[in-house]
Structure formats: C-alpha cells, structure tokens
Structure 1
Amino acid sequence: MVPMPPRSGKPPANPFTPLDFQLVLLRRMADHNPGLVEDARRELGVSLAQMREANKRWQAMLRSPRSRSAASRYRSVLGPPESTIPRRIGDLDCEAWQWPVPLWPDLRFEVLVAPNGVVWNEWLVRAPGAEAPTLRTIDDLTPWSCTVDEAARAFAPARPLEGTAPTRWGLAFVAPDAQGERHEVVAEFTWGLLQRLAISE
C-alpha cells in the first residue's frame, strides 16, 4: 500500500479566479453605482457575501509580505493574456497585456508592463474592433458608458485629475448639454470605467 502524505490540518485554499477578479472590479464601483453593481452581481450569479470575500482576499494578496509582482499576480489570476501588444508612451516602451472581461464583452482589462516587469497602469479599455460609444454631449456620459481614453478624446483637451483612491481617475473638461450650452465637467472613473459626473451650472 502506498503511504498517504500527512495532512496539514488546513483545507487547501480555493484559487482566486477570473470571476473573483470581476467581483473585485465591481466592489470598487459599488460606492458610486450600487444599482448597476447589484444587477451585474446577479448576472454573475454570486452573493453579496461572495463579492465582499473576493475583495477581502484580493486586498490580502496585495498586502502580503510574500506578495508576488503585480504582473505575475495578474497572470496567476487571469491566465495568459489574450493579447500582448508592444506600445510606446512618449519616450518609453512597454507592453500592453489584455484579457477579456465576460461581464463587459466590449471591454478588455489592460495592464501596461515596463521592460523591467513593473506595472505602470491597470484599467479597462475598449476591446480591439469593438464599436466605441458616440460621445457628443453630457447626456451621452452615463455610468459605465465609456473609458478614460474615450472621454478624453471626445472632449479634448481634458485635464487628468488625481483619483480619490487607488484604481480611480478623474478628468476635467468642457462639454455641451443637449441644448448646446457648455459646462465644466469633472468625470470620475473606477478601473478606467466612467462612474459619475459633477457638472457646473
């Protein structure tokens, strides 16, 4: 008889999956759009407790003294990227790694990785070949309708603002309303996806 290895006494930890990562994205968006997050959570077939647990485990991974690099962590959780694209930003070369996000089929989760393996940026972008939204007025800027890049291009020149928390960004720009009157707008994004607007009168 083959001897069985001794038990450690601890059950094996469940792997952190791409579904769990989608719950992390949603948890960060719940502060601004709880209704949209609730609908998305139900679409994924998970409970509020599961979403909280996924976020708790993600935060523990980030803070662990044995934490792997961000690039390695994303590969471990999401698998090999769907695409790896060389990209040049100013004078710097990097690679854009992209993964599909089933919750948003027209988007990809993108990580910009420097030659030394350091992650420069991590956010949602429009999928290659997917139709971008038409952004002409403030009314087009609804929650989850566009990415940072798309809003910045549509209402150039846009000024980037420091986010209120990690994974959050802001843009300040001028945009017309449906009657053509122009307003100063501050748009807030989480993981690169539009969450809400502050509009001056």
Structure 2
Amino acid sequence: MKAQRTKPRKPETRIQKRNHEAILDAALEVFSARGFRGATVDQIAQEAGLSKPNLLYYFPSKEAMHTALLTGLLDTWLDPLRALDAGGEPIEEILTYVRRKLEMSRQMPRESRLFANEILQGGPRLHGVLADYLKPLVDDKAGIIRTWVEEGRIAPVQPYHLLFSVWSLTQHYADFDIQVRTLLADVEPDPFPEAERYLVSLFTRMLAPDAG
C-alpha cells in the first residue's frame, strides 16, 4: 500500500494573516483583562471586529487561542533570563536582567497579566511549560548565580529567591499598572524611569560583595 502524501498547507493570504493577527491581539486584550475563565469567544470576536463564525474558522475554541498566545509568547518571555551570561560581570548581568524585565513590563503589560492570570488559576495550561522549559532554565541560571556567590563576586544570596524578587519587583508595574499610576499620578506620570533607578540601586546595594 502506497503511503498517502500529505498536501502542503497553503500559505495564508494577506487577509487571512491580518485576521489571524487581529484575533490574537483581541484575545490578548480580553484574556489579560478578564482571565481565561472570564473571557468568551463572543467578547474576543467583538474586540477583533469579526463575526463569531469567522473567528472560529481560524481558532476552534478559546482554549486554542489561549494556547497559541502562551506558546507564541514563551520565547519572548524567557529571552531576558536566557541572556544572563556566566562569563559576564555578575552585578551588571543581574542589573541588565532587571532592566530588561522592567522594560517588558512597560512594553508588554497585557502579556504579563496573561501569564499572571494563568498562574493565579493554578497554571492548568502552563504546567508542562513550567516543568519542561522554565525549571531547567531557572536551574541553570540559579547555578550561575550560586557560582558567583561561591567565588565572592556577589554577596551571599539564595539564587531562586533572587530571581523571584526580580520577577515580582519588575512585573508589579505591569500587573498592578492602574494602582501604580493612580498612586503616583501627582508625583510621576511615568513611573518607569524612577522605578529603574530605584531597582538598580536596590539590587546594586544588595549584591555588592561587602554587603554580605
């Protein structure tokens, strides 16, 4: 019996590509605001400016849209941590990571809230990602930080909790954007420049070898 040949997929037309991108952008807007459970296909279709049947032509369910978003954003989200270089100057490597994470909070607040909402719901669609991709990467970078501590190049810190601190202190500005901007409205219309100065000072003082 001859093996059946699979027909190659036709490339998307310009309109199909535009609709595909519009749906994912709308899904990101709705999921980041309402979470997975609170989002509906109707809301996403309305946000995308498409009919529900038209949207379902591209994605059969809200689960498919959510998975596509998480999968597509994963590499971008992990890139700053991947860039932490064992051969670099330790404090500057960590400060560069802090700056890149803070800049992502500035530029990608919806993406940050998408991941936060997923984690708050127990990570049902991220469990495999956390175990198979995030954990090995964090283990590797924690090992680098531990070596820097052992060599006396930074103050004694617990590597994993250092990374958790970077995440919480930078992503706060995305996940709690409305609170930050409301509280700083009369002080700093744009909170990010002062946030960067504060966090750089905080981590520099904490990580200086003589701080231990």
Query: Between Structure 1 and Structure 2, which shows a larger proportion of strand residues?
Result: 1
Q: Do these two structures clear the TM 0.5 threshold for a shared fold by scoring above it?
A: no
Larger Rg: 2
Normalised TM-score (structure 1): 0.30
Greater per-residue helix proportion: 2
Please give the TM-score of this superposition, normalised by the length of structure 2.
Answer: 0.29
